[in-house]
Chains A and B, each alone.
Chain A
């Protein structure tokens, strides 16, 4: 079975981590992944990650919610059974629309929020009973871990990482087709 090696460089300070990331980027090394115990501001920019499109999906889900609520109430209150309830004009959707606005609003928010959260879970592969992918339990507490793939340049990389302030450097053999 073919194996690939990665370096796990561990830092104890987010500022040191940030400058390390910038240094590695400047030297054109690829960073596979970074594990941090909390959000580090600007880390995604420093790593060059593409901005999220979650907000766009949310807007579209909200539009779906808007359409669902309008179609639903138009069908139920106007077309299917246009009953006179307390003198409210159920002749057309527009005439009775102020009464529908609270529901339209709530369903728009409901769809936008819930579907966006579900999208987030799917995209970041999170669900109950999911095997944690944490390489080192300390990264959930006070350590920062940077994972860099090695292509026969371990010594050079190791020197560079020490220079950037890594407190611990481990070379890990990773099975390429390991199940996630």
Chain B
């Protein structure tokens, strides 16, 4: 049996407390009045807006000769109106920032939990012989599925009721009201799908399905420990197969709902798989990291180099799979350059160049070069380094999916973002390691246990 060390428990609680304080600070700090935003913008304008004003002045001089005084006044009034609009826009983006930061971090840790649950289901459905000694680690991590998904859906819904639509603009009732200035025909056309009640129901369906599978697979796995026959094993095989079918549908819908609908004007077909690949690779990475941690504490005697080797092969292969989907999505849109699609990448390329390109280095180039060597795949500290880099990369991946739609060019990785990560990291560690203490770390009486213990690559 694993005992949750006091040190780790204190550490996770400290993360939660620091995270909560930082998130609260983020919410207070983002609550700016229109006047504050205007002064901020003029201060910014004096530094980097100079070139722009010069350029407009040159243009104005050309027009000046033809322009009557009357027209110039009009122009000034128009400009003032434009400034007002711009300030409002920026104010809104600033108000979105703590929400988006919280959402990105919540989604990222949810991805890990769900990714591990799917990996676990695949191992069971494929009757993999090598991974049985890691099942309890996977079960422990997937204990985060239920709280994680509920938190994500909760933040999404709260952003409407508490935050006045800080995340999903389609949740605003004005957007589908033809009388309103804010009316958006494109979003209105999608309103039979994108409406709040249906969004919540869909979310609850995914969460119920995933949560139920998590609950029953864990229950069957523990029941198998003391069983007389293999009926639990057979049942868990059927459950896993059924769950995988359910999952691949709901995951796709989840990615449209929880991520893609942040940009309700944009759509992409392979988005669901892209989000899935990100989930899967982060899940595999966390399995590797927690396995290495538990093994270093002497809890996983049955795990050997070959198990680590296999899990790093998954990490390596799915990093490449993620890159393949990332590039396929990017290249198809870049190549055809259809305006209604390309705005998605244009905004990311203009305002998010470093994270957008940087995450390809972190998620592909780095793990590719680190883990291509067969011997390196079994060196724990190399796996830990690559794993941490990959996790940072996939955090950035979610960041680049969510932020441009919510905060636009006002993004920064500062206190709200970092403390949101700390908050959910603490929660994640607490939930996962508490779940790990609930059952022995090695399954008993599993038909493939012996094979897994003697696994050698």
Residues of chain A having any CB pair with chain B under 8 Å: 55, 59, 87, 98-99, 101
Contact = CB atoms under 8 A, between A and B. Distances in A.
A63 to B, nearest CB: 11
B80 interface: no
Given A55-B374, A59-B372, A101 B337 contact: no
Q: Top 5 nearest A-B pairs by Cβ distance?
A: A98-B331, A98-B334, A101-B327, A99-B335, A101-B331
B330 interface: yes
Contacts of B335: 98-99
Contacts of A101: 327, 331
12 contacts: A55-B374, A59-B372, A87-B337, A98-B327, A98-B330, A98-B331, A98-B334, A98-B335, A99-B331, A99-B335, A101-B327, A101-B331
A98 B337 CA distance: 12
Interface residues of B, number: 8
A15 B335 CA distance: 58
Contacts of A59: 372
Contacts of B334: 98
Contacts of B337: 87
A55 B375 CA distance: 12
Contacts of B330: 98
Contacts of B374: 55
Interface string B303-346: 00000000000000000000000010011001101000000000
A74 B62 CA distance: 42
B118 to A, nearest CB: 27
A52 to B, nearest CB: 11
Contacts of A99: 331, 335
B437 to A, nearest CB: 39
Interface of B: 327, 330-331, 334-335, 337, 372, 374
B128 to A, nearest CB: 20
A87 B327 CA distance: 20
Nearest to B327: A101
A5 to B, nearest CB: 39
Given A98-B330, A98-B334, 10 more contacts: A55-B374, A59-B372, A87-B337, A98-B327, A98-B331, A98-B335, A99-B331, A99-B335, A101-B327, A101-B331
Contacts of B327: 98, 101
A101 B337 CA distance: 17
B365 to A, nearest CB: 12
Contacts of A98: 327, 330-331, 334-335
Contacts of A55: 374
Choose among A55, A87, A98, A101 the residue with the greatest number of B CB atoms under 10 Å from its CB: A98
A101 B372 CA distance: 20
Nearest to B374: A55
A97 to B, nearest CB: 10
Contacts of A87: 337
A59 B373 CA distance: 10
B115 to A, nearest CB: 26
A87 B334 CA distance: 12
A89 to B, nearest CB: 10
B339 to A, nearest CB: 13
A111 to B, nearest CB: 16
Contacts of B372: 59
B361 to A, nearest CB: 14
A145 to B, nearest CB: 27
A101 B331 CA distance: 9
A155 B331 CA distance: 72
A98 B372 CA distance: 24
Nearest to A98: B331
B456 to A, nearest CB: 10
A93 to B, nearest CB: 15
A177 B147 CA distance: 76
A137 to B, nearest CB: 34
A98 B334 CA distance: 8
A99 B334 CA distance: 9
A160 B174 CA distance: 92
Nearest to B332: A98
A111 B372 CA distance: 17
A98 B327 CA distance: 8
B454 to A, nearest CB: 14
Contacts of B331: 98-99, 101
A101 B334 CA distance: 13
A98 B331 CA distance: 6
A87 B374 CA distance: 44
A101 B327 CA distance: 9
Nearest to A88: B335
A98 B335 CA distance: 8
A108 to B, nearest CB: 12
A99 B337 CA distance: 12
B337 to A, nearest CB: 7
A101 B364 CA distance: 14
A96 to B, nearest CB: 10
A99 B331 CA distance: 7
A59 B371 CA distance: 13
A105 to B, nearest CB: 9
Nearest to A41: B456
A85 B374 CA distance: 43
A24 to B, nearest CB: 24
A59 B330 CA distance: 27
Nearest to B324: A105
A55 B330 CA distance: 31
A80 B337 CA distance: 25
A84 to B, nearest CB: 14
